[in-house]
Amino acid sequence: MNLFSPLSLGDLELPNRLVMAPLTRVRSGIEGVPGPLVVEHYKQRASLGLIVTEGTYPSHAGQGFPGQPGLVTPEQIAGWTNVADAVHSAGGRLVAQVMHAGRVTHEGTNGGREVVAPSAIAIQGETRTYAGKAAYPVPHALTLDELPGVIADFVQASRNAIAAGLDGVEIHSANGYLLHEFLSPASNQRDDIYGGSPQNRARFVVEVVTAVAEAIGAGRVGIRVSPEHNIQDALETDAADLLATYGALADALAPLGLAYLSILHREPAGELVQQLRVRFAGPLLVNSGFGEVTDRDEAMAIIADELADAVVVGRAVIANPDLVSRWLKDLPLNAPDPLTFYGAGAEGYTDYPALAH
């Protein structure tokens, strides 16, 4: 087993163990429709074992960023159909990361919809809206009667992804967005069955994933988490509570037979990640490179040391559409330009050169 060997993830068959991270690139316009530029971007990277799309909203209220794509309207679904067709024509596989931003948004971004969260606690700081920067609002605390509607949005968006021809979905429960907000004791201060104990805080995530798995098949569903990542005020600073919360989540997800668990954490070899792997009892993807860029040696060592089944890579994939070939042959890499990570055009998106063969 090595980084370039095949891998089965549920219903997905991967030719190698390099996975493209879900990378926010916000190039889908005000209507959230993936256009020709997005099609080309993903097609260029089809040699990766699996592509995970950037976070894609399941409802208009769940939109977090200007220019973010959605999986809601017929036009958005048609746009994703074009992406899927292009990636498949180039021999690739891709799943849609379904992401509800929760409180990490603003009415000036999501079309004036109410901003929602587990509890009425605002993030400290500002966000970018279509009208410029604005302070995060105090969100509406979702009521028990409203939660089934949010689950239904995740299910419908996942059905839409499959209808568009994508190979599956990844449920985004990381980085401070809605599902992660339920897990974090800092953002979830509810006193009902969805708050308080670690098991209660994990409950809503389990319900969402279970419903999606029932709708499209567990073998097409993965989930991404980022324990103790501590960004966007979804703080997790108590080690015992952290393990209890994510342990409860892994225990509850294990019987579902999901395609994979993807963990963003700085220590893939650490006790937390490896214990969650055992308790999840399914394929593990690891992403260690949020703070530090994951390089070839680290990625190869993770697989060689059997710390995970696949490695999720971001910045190297942004700058090197042919990263698999470059790493396989240990060839030089293009350097990513952070100034073009977010924007509206081709620069820094589709204009990184592949090596001539």
Give me the active site residues, please. Answer: 177
Distance CA 129, CA 355 (A): 38
Is residue 14 classed as helix, strand or coil in its secondary structure?
Answer: strand
Query: How is 207-243 classified by DSSP, letter by letter?
Result: HHHHHHHHHH-GGGEEEEE-TT---TT-----HHHHH
How far is residue 95's CA from residue 122's CA, in Å, rounded to a whole number?
A: 31
| Contact predicate 222/169, CB 8 Å | yes
Answer yes or no: are the C-beta atoms of 36 and 42 closer than 8 Å: no
For residue 12, CA distances in Å to 47, 123, 152 come to 15, 37, 24
* Cα distance between the two ends of the chain: 26
Length of the chain: 357
Calculated CA dihedral for residues 198, 227, 282, 216, nearest 10 degrees: 80
The b-or-e profile of 163-194 (16+ CB within 10 A means b, else e) is ebbbbbbbbbbbbbbbbbbbbbbebbebeeeb
C-alpha span between 18 and 103 (Å, rounded):
32
105/94 Cα distance (integer angstroms): 26
Tokens of 193: 């069955």
Token pair, residue 67, equals 């220019």
Distances (CA, A) of 314 to 1, 51, 253: 22, 11, 26
